[in-house]
Copies of this chain bind each other. A is one copy, B any other.
Amino acid sequence: MKIGLIQMDVVDDKKENIKKAKDMILEAHDQGAEIIMLPEMFNTPYQNDKFSSYAETETGETVEFIKSTAKELKILLIGGSIPEKSDGKIYNTCFIANESGKIIGKHRKIHLFDIDVKDGITFFESDTLSPGESTTVIDTSFGKIGIAICYDIRFPELFRKMVLEGAKYFFIPAAFNTVTGPAHWEILTRTRALDNQVFLAIVSPARSEILKYKAYGHSLVTSPWGAVLSELDEKESVLIVDINSEEIDRIREELPVLKHRKSNIY
C-alpha cells in the first residue's frame, strides 16, 4: 500500500496552486501511490488576510479539482485543506475523495491555532476561522482512516477517540512552523502513532522563500511502533512510502496497549 505526500511550495495564486498540486499528484501516481495527500491550506497562503478571499463553498473549483483528480487517477485523495465558506463562516476543511471521485468525508479543523510564543510564533486562526465540531473517521477501500488537521495533533484524546472508532491510519494535513516544528513535530507524530498503534502520515507545505509564514516541511510517515519510516526536509518534494498494513495487527498483539486500557479508571 503506497502513500504519496505532496509537499508543495504554495504561492499567492489559487490557480497556480491547483496546477502545482495536479502536477505533483501525477508524479506521485506515476510512482505508484494509491493514497495521496495534499498539505493544509494548499490553495492559499497561510495568512489570515488571505483566507476569506481564497475561500469557496464545497461546490467551488478546488473541491471540483479534488473530485475529478481522484476519479481520473483512481486514487484515494486526501485533499489537504482549504478555507471553506459555509453559512457565513469560514472553516479550515479537508475534503476526501474516493477512487470514483465522490467526496466520502470532510474534516473541519477542530482546534484552531491560537498561540503566542514570545520571540517565536504568534498566530490567531480564530480571528478569521470557525472551528469544526466533530471527529472524522471514514471508511475507505484501505480500511478506516482518521483525519486531523495540524494543531488538532496536540490533543491526544482526539486520536484515542478515532482509534476506538476503528481508525487504523491517521492522515494529517498540517503546516507547523520553524519554532514548533523542530521542537514538537517528530515527537507528536511518533507518539500519536505509537500510542494508538496505527500508521500516521502528515504532510506540510514546503518552506516558502516568498510567503510570510514559514512552514516546517518535514512531511513524514510513522509506523505503529512509533518509528519514522521516511521524512522529507523543508524543500518541495513528493514523498512515496510503501507500508505493510499487517504490521498493525502484529504490533497490537505483541504490545497490546489497546487491550490494556482501563476505561473504568479514566
Contact = CB atoms under 8 A, between A and B. Distances in A.
A156 B158 contact: no
Nearest to A117: B254
Contacts of A110: 262, 265
A133 B158 CA distance: 24
A12 to B, nearest CB: 28
A229 interface: no
A256 B227 CA distance: 28
Interface size class of A (residues with CB under 8 A): 35 or more
Given A260-B114, A261-B157, A266 B195 contact: no
B265 A133 contact: yes
Given A134-B265, A186-B187, A191-B191, 10 more contacts: A111-B262, A114-B260, A120-B254, A131-B262, A133-B264, A154-B257, A158-B265, A161-B265, A187-B190, A188-B194
Given A158-B266, A195-B154, A262-B110, A256 B115 contact: yes
Interface in A100-135: 110-112, 114-118, 120, 131, 133-135
A83 interface: no
A254 B116 contact: yes
B183 A191 contact: no
24 contacts: A110-B265, A112-B260, A115-B256, A116-B253, A116-B254, A134-B265, A135-B265, A151-B260, A155-B260, A155-B261, A155-B266, A156-B156, A156-B157, A157-B157, A157-B160, A157-B266, A161-B265, A161-B266, A180-B255, A183-B227, A184-B194, A187-B226, A188-B194, A191-B191
